[in-house]
Amino acid sequence: GWLGVKQSKARRQLALALALNVRAAGPGGGVADKPATAFPKFDLDKDVRTRKKKPPRYQVLLHNDDVNRRDYVVKVLLKIVPTLTMDDAVNIMNEAHINGMAAVIICGQEEAEEYCEGLRKNGLISTIEPVGPSD
């Protein structure tokens, strides 16, 4: 998503600023050399290279049913998808109730399958579908 791009750009700028700062301080400080090792595996170009090859993303869909009570649906959503807030869960439940279907979360395929299965095991109707690469 757009947030990830913004964050990775900010991270690159931060790493660059740290690297420049360390070089400007020069040898002999000892302490000034430490920030460079704070990111031992950090690669400034990594985001650019891997962006094109991200695995496809899937959305987990919740379908409305006439069996489960609204508060139960919210409880199940919160239990199965721990990243959801109470507001998220209520909004998803309402959207499914009104429109017949709502997107719960977008994630990798394996994760999406686990969430979908978890929702189904708790009596909800859920499916997954690909939404293309994460960018």
Q: Contact at 8 Å (CB) between 128 and 62?
A: no
Question: Cα-Cα-Cα-Cα dihedral of 85, 90, 93, 94, to 10°?
Answer: -140
Q: Which amino acid is at 132?
A: G
Beta bridge partners of 56: 133
62-99 pLDDT, tens per residue? Answer: 999 999 999 999 999 999 999 999 999 999 999 999 99
Q: Residue 54 — very low, low, confident or very high, per pLDDT cuts 50/70/90?
A: confident
Residue 61 DSSP one-character state: E
Question: Mean per-residue pLDDT for 98-123?
Answer: 97
pLDDT the model gives residue 25: 47
Q: Contact at 8 Å (CB) between 96 and 81?
A: no
* pTM of the entire predicted model: 0.59
Residue 35 DSSP one-character state: H
Q: Residue 7 — very low, low, confident or very high, per pLDDT cuts 50/70/90?
A: low
* CA-based nearest residue to 104, from 62, 71, 68: 62
Counting Cβ atoms within 10 Å, is residue 99 exposed (0-12), middle (13-18) or buried (19+)? exposed
